[in-house]
Amino acid sequence: MASEASRRYEDDLDRACSLDIDRLDPIRRMEMCIGRGKVLPTAFVPPQSATPQSLFPASIGRKAHPPVTRFIRVDDPKSFLIYTDGACPGNGQAEPKGGWAFVFGPQERNTTSSVNERLQGPLGDYANPTSNRAELRATIGALRYKNWASVGFTTLSCLSD
């Protein structure tokens, strides 16, 4: 007999065995609002010889329940890294298609540590896809994905190309 959790999971799969993203994706479930400028970004300038992996190795964040692995800064356990990226094949041409993604932890068994989506605005609005919009949308998605302070982080660094 299937457990309640596995039945719920199976209910989220369509006939093609793909997840019902509209139901599961936290970004789509969040209340949409326009920012008010209460948190302002600052530039992070790493030491010249440092790499993202040396500054933010995969470590266990102890404030989350259960504890989870994130890219946590070696000298500040309240600071962590998210990798963001966006792409738009056909940028500047007719009918470009765009997408974006972010990775907030190393790939582990039975754990989701990344999000990816087709390109549209954070409020579901449409504008012509561009590479710049895709890159920016990835960062907006990472910032909105979760209340990162609720799991013990006060500083989030986004790394993009």
Report which residue type is found at 61.
G
Buried b (16+ CB within 10 A) or exposed e, 112-143: ebebebebeebeeeeeebbbebbbbbbbbbbb
What pLDDT score does 29 carry?
53
Residue 22 confidence class, pLDDT cut points 50, 70, 90: very low
Inform me whether the pLDDT recorded for 31 exceeds 50. Answer: yes
Residue 26 confidence class, pLDDT cut points 50, 70, 90: low
Q: Across 51-60, 62-71, 112-121, which has the greatest mean pLDDT?
A: 51-60
Mean pLDDT of the chain: 79
Mark whether 63 and 129 lie in a shared domain: yes
Mark whether 122 and 59 lie in a shared domain: yes
Mark whether 89 and 147 lie in a shared domain: yes
Rg from Cα positions in the chain: 18
Q: How many domains does the chain have?
A: 2
Q: Averaged over 14-36, what is the pLDDT?
A: 49
- Tell me the residue range of the domain where 129 lies: 39-159
Mark whether 56 and 105 lie in a shared domain: yes
Compute the distance between CA of residue 86 and CA of residue 115 in angstroms, rounded to an integer: 12
Q: Averaged over 44-67, what is the pLDDT?
A: 89
Mark whether 103 and 126 lie in a shared domain: yes
Domain CATH number, residue 100: 3.30.420
- Tokens representing 41? 């970004």
pLDDT tens-digit readout, 122-142: 677 777 889 999 999 999 999
